[in-house]
Structure 1
Amino acid sequence: MVRKILLAFIILFGLYYIFFFSHIDQRVILIFKIIPMILIIIMAAIPKVQAIKKYQLLIVIGLVFCMIGDYTLQWFLIGLTSFLIGHIFYIFAFSSTNEQPVPTWAKVLLLLYGVMMAIWIASTVFKSGETILTFAVLAYIAIILTMGWTAIRTRSAFAIVGAILFIASDSYLAVNKFVMPLPFSHEVIMLTYYSAQILIALSIVQYSEIRSKVVQ
């Protein structure tokens, strides 16, 4: 019941920030941006899942770093670094599971996508003379695709779809920021981002159920 109430408030505040962004006072806009993340962190932390306590802890830490990234993205490299750390904790969480192997087709798709994004986005950043940012972008692409790769191992649909949505959100953001302006960038980026974080948080309970079935 508590999870459903939290989820309702996450959706309410998330949609308000996404679609009424232009009406929010600039002095408090970042507060409204992180309110859904604070609620998502609480939702992820409250389930009592003793069998997968490590998984839960790592996911919660990852969510906290992503929330910090939300606030510090105004200083892009700092925010990018915080998100990168958050993804590393997600990778640790997903890697701690071993419910199913990653299919070859998924590996190939992720690798091809990573190479395509690296060539398209990193080369554009490099041409602008931003060498440090270029390496940061390359590192981020590698980390987020590894996060997607390891999410498949959990066998949790929430973790897998959440990871895919996160990759989609960051891809749209990167293209919009470095290559060309995209339509409805704020709405698309934040809708896929909040959805990804909600699903990753909900994967805690789903993975706990998967583990319970395995034990039985």
Structure 2
Amino acid sequence: MARKILLAFIILFGLYYIFFFSHIDQRLTLIFKIIPMILIIFMAATTKAQSIKKYQLFIIIGLVFCMIGDYTLQWFLIGLTSFLIGHIFYIFAFSSTSEQPVPKWAKGLLLLYGAIMAIWIASTVFKSGETVLTVAVLAYMSIILTMGWTAIRTRSTFAIIGAILFIVSDSYLAVNKFVMPLPFSHEVIMLTYYCAQLLIALSIVQYSEIRSKVVQ
């Protein structure tokens, strides 16, 4: 019951920030932005998971760094670095599992997508003379695609869909910021982002159930 109430508050605050952003006092926007993340972290930390403490700990640390990234994204490179660290901890979590191999077609799609985005976005940033930012963007792309790659290993649909949504959210953000303005950018970026983080947090329960079945 308590989990359902917490989940309802996460959805409520998330939707409020996404669709009523313009009505929030500018001094409070960053606070409202991280409230859903604070609740998601609390949910992940209070989840009772059997025999996957390392997975749970890595996910929680990843969520914390992503929340810091939310708050510091106004200083883009600082926020990007914090998100990158968060993804590294997600990779640690997903890599600690080995429930299934990554199919060749999934590897191929991720590599192809990464190459297309790198050429499109990084080349645009490089042409503007931002060499350091170009390197940072390329590094971030590599890490987030690796995160998606390793998520498949978990057999958790929540982890896999969450990772894919994160890639979608960051791709939309990158194109909107560096290439061209996209419609409903705030709504699309934040909706996919919150859904991604929530699903990754919920994967703690799902992966715990997967491990329990394997042990039995």
The 2-side partners of 1:167 and 1:101 are apart by: 20
The 2-side partners of 1:57 and 1:50 are apart by: 13
Q: Give the Å deviation of 1:2.
A: 1.8
Counterpart for residue 215 of structure 1: 215
Q: Give the Å deviation of 1:48.
A: 1.8
Gaps of 5+ in 2: none
The 1-side partners of 2:8 and 2:49 are apart by: 22
For residues 90-149 of structure 1, the C-alpha deviation after alignment (integer angstroms, 9 at most, x for no partner) is: 000000000000000000000000000000000000000000000000000000000000
Report the AA paired with residue 95 of structure 1. Answer: S
For residues 136-186 of structure 1, the C-alpha deviation after alignment (integer angstroms, 9 at most, x for no partner) is: 000000000000000000000000000000000000000000000000000
Q: Give the Å deviation of 1:15.
A: 0.2
Counterpart for residue 139 of structure 2: 139
Counterpart for residue 107 of structure 1: 107
Counterpart for residue 16 of structure 1: 16
Q: Any residues of structure 2 matched to 1:145-184 within 5 Å, and which?
A: 145-184=145-184
Q: Any residues of structure 2 matched to 1:35-54 within 5 Å, and which?
A: 35-54=35-54
Kindly report structure 1 stretches of 4+ aligned residues shifted beyond 6 Å.
Answer: none
3-state secondary structure, aligned to 1:47: coil
3-state secondary structure, aligned to 2:51: helix
Q: Give the Å deviation of 1:31.
A: 0.1
Counterpart for residue 197 of structure 1: 197
Gaps of 5+ in 1: none
Counterpart for residue 73 of structure 2: 73
- Quote the RMSD (CA, aligned, Å): 0.4
Counterpart for residue 92 of structure 2: 92
The 2-side partners of 1:49 and 1:6 are apart by: 17
The 1-side partners of 2:98 and 2:172 are apart by: 30
The 2-side partners of 1:130 and 1:101 are apart by: 38
Report the AA paired with residue 177 of structure 1. Answer: K
Corresponding position: 1:83 with 2:83: yes
**Identical pairs, percent:** 89
The 2-side partners of 1:53 and 1:120 are apart by: 40
Counterpart for residue 187 of structure 1: 187
Q: Give the Å deviation of 1:50.
A: 3.7
Report the AA paired with residue 153 of structure 2. Answer: R
The 1-side partners of 2:3 and 2:173 are apart by: 30
3-state secondary structure, aligned to 1:27: helix
